Structure 1
């Protein structure tokens, strides 16, 4: 999710790999208030898997609505929970309360209601 924005020698941004471009394009298609899992994105692209999508989002996702590409269990992105939660609340994304004290007070995504199938 960091999307560091590093530049290559000469001040030009590094060329984005083709797979990364496709992953980011899918992230931009997800409507406000809805989410897709890393696996959903890979399945939609018919290429790669959840780990590859996660890697793309970690490296380049800062330029797209990264909070809409999520873990399948609905747990918010570790280290970015509060930023993501602000986006979810602003967009009206369905949430549910944390189910155990160990999970703290950070809600989870209500995956049954929030998940978007790409249509």
Structure 2
């Protein structure tokens, strides 16, 4: 993966305001990519200094291996998950 791709993803994630979320697919689309999985890989490898917790799966859930920390960070920003997922009305337009 090239540096330009990484930077585009990083820019999109860095621009997500506190209290808001995007899906991996939405980040990919905004970064001009086709692969939501690539977004996850980039965040895993080079996203520790970003608000990675604002990126959720398309169904509004957290990635299982980071769910506890991710939901706690979102809760601190006023984003409440219901039964482990973002309520449907807050997921409009998810890809």
What TM-score, normalized to structure 2?
0.83
1:42–1:29 CA distance, 2 compared to 1 (3 A): same
Bigger-Rg structure (1/2):
1
What TM-score, normalized to structure 1?
0.68
Q: Residues 1-119 of structure 1 correspond to what in structure 2 (within 5 A)?
A: 17-97=3-83, 107-113=84-90
1:17–1:30 CA distance, 2 compared to 1 (3 A): same
8 A Cα contact 2:71 2:81, kept in partner: no
1:21–1:116 CA distance, 2 compared to 1 (3 A): farther
Per the TM alignment, residue 50 of structure 1 is displaced from its structure 2 partner at its CA by: 0.6
Per the TM alignment, residue 23 of structure 1 is displaced from its structure 2 partner at its CA by: 0.4
